[in-house]
Amino acid sequence: MKVAVSILTADFNNLEAEIKSLHESDYIHLDVMDGHFVPNISFGKAVLKNIKNITNVPLDTHLMITNPYDYIEDFVSIGSKYITIHIEANKVLETLEKIKSYNVKTGLSLRPKTDIKLLNPYLKDIDLVLVMTVEPGFGGQSFMIEQMKKVEYLYEMRKKHNYKYVIEIDGGVNKETIKYAKGVDIVVSGSYILNQKDRSKAIKSLK
């Protein structure tokens, strides 16, 4: 299992040191929020433009924004390995095609209340599916175990059809809830890791 560390709750006054402390992680997870798709605003290209000069850890970008199509170039330019958009956003197919045109891996996510089967038409063509195990928008929420039914569905669909996507979960992942992450390829964890002095030890505890 791989670990992606969300920097949503990082100390942005000391961002370079924060990111460098996460060198044991497999991905740096970027939660981008526009204040419209979710009731919170996080950060954008202006804050992140130099991140690829700070770390060699691949960037896993999650766009919780209404119109992701308009911002793909921004998050390609910072060096994203994955760019994940929401099935509930505008221009889903066009945006996925735009991401692919830059040779960046595509991801799809969905809110907890959204039917997983809405992703079916896209599963054969995408590289990652992100299952939210909290309501998107804020860090530090409790893990929604019932969302693991979506992981089970995705695992079976991948096996049945030989799809190539990886399965990622995000929200409330810590040393207690990690036991529920069966069938998951990547776990996103933010508060649990960033609230500990020894970030490397925390990351290894999830692996």
Q: Which of 70, 127, 170, 198 is catalytic?
A: 170
pLDDT of residue 41: 80
Measured between alpha carbons, how far is residue 68 from residues 52, 84, 131, 136 in Å?
Answer: 21, 9, 18, 16
Q: Residue 107 maps to which CATH number?
A: 3.20.20.70
pLDDT per residue as tens digits for the range 89-106? 999 999 999 999 999 999
On average, the pLDDT of the chain sits at 94
Q: Which of 26, 31, 60, 127 is catalytic?
A: 31
Average pLDDT over residues 162-174: 96
Active-site annotation holds for 31? yes
pLDDT per residue as tens digits for the range 60-76? 999 999 999 999 999 99
pLDDT of residue 12: 85
SS3 call for 150: helix
For the chain, percent of residues with pLDDT exceeding 90: 82
For the chain, percent of residues with pLDDT exceeding 70: 99
- Banded model confidence at residue 38, pLDDT cuts 50, 70, 90: confident
pLDDT of residue 137: 73
Average pLDDT over residues 49-61: 92
Domain count, the chain: 1
pLDDT of residue 43: 82
Active-site annotation holds for 26? no
The residue among 42, 41, 53 whose CA lies nearest residue 77 is: 53
pLDDT of residue 27: 98
The answer to whether 131 and 150 have CB atoms below 8 angstroms apart is yes
Q: Which residues contact 47 (CB under 8 A, 6 or more apart)?
A: 12, 15
Find the domain containing 110 and state its range: 2-206
Measured between alpha carbons, how far is residue 120 from residues 34, 37, 161 in Å?
Answer: 26, 22, 11
